Amino acid sequence: MKKFDTKMLVTAAVLIALNVVLSRFLSINAWNLKIGFTFVSIFVAGYFYGPLFSTVVAVIADLLGALLFPSGPFFPGFTVTAMLTGLLFGFMLHKKQTPARILITVLIDQLILGLIVNTYWLSILFGTTFGAVVVTRIVQCLIMMPVQFVTISLLMKKLPAIKREVLK
């Protein structure tokens, strides 16, 4: 990651604000599923500056969103998932973005972090069995996998020009 400067601070602030708005106001939220475009801000953070930056943006956005606009009880496991998501997007999509890398990133994000890890957190938080919650969360993954893949693929066509302007 390059030296932290004012431009990076402003970029982080905008991406954190975007994440909170997308997560808390422009997503379909229920106690056991979330469908939306929250991943966009984390992807852009990772694309521009790499895994450390996207991890910090994801964690701060998760904590601020939970503090300012709670959608249920705070559970630190979801912050751990946000951290892992930031690392994933930063490591996989910062330097090289191919359809295969995008697909692998989406599959890891949705199947491992979303379906397995977050389902485990929900089962702990609400005292339910993992199997009972995972059935409903499969629907979320089936919806979000193509949404993430298509959205990231489309953004990849516009972000290089934006990156040149932001990072110059």
- For the chain, give every domain's residue range: 6-167
The string of pLDDT tens digits covering residues 50-91 is 999 999 999 999 999 999 999 888 999 999 999 999 999 999
Residue labelled with tokens 């993992």? 130
What was the pLDDT predicted at 168?
A: 67
User: In whole angstroms, what is the distance from residue 120 CA to residue 113 CA?
Assistant: 10
State which amino acid sits at residue 33: L
Quote the pTM value.
0.91
User: Which stretches of the chain score pLDDT less than 70?
Assistant: 1-2, 31-32, 167-168
Question: From CA 92, how far away is CA 57, in angstroms rounded?
Answer: 16
d(CA 163, CA 160): 5
CA atoms within 13 A on the CB side of 45: 35
4 secondary structure, DSSP code? P
Q: How far apart are CA 124 and CA 75, in angstroms?
A: 10
- Work out the widest C-alpha separation in the chain, in whole angstroms: 51
Q: Is 127 left (phi over 0), alpha (psi -120 to 50) or beta?
A: left
Q: What is the pLDDT of residue 28?
A: 84
- Second-level CATH architecture of 6-167: Orthogonal Bundle (1.10)
- pLDDT score for 69: 93
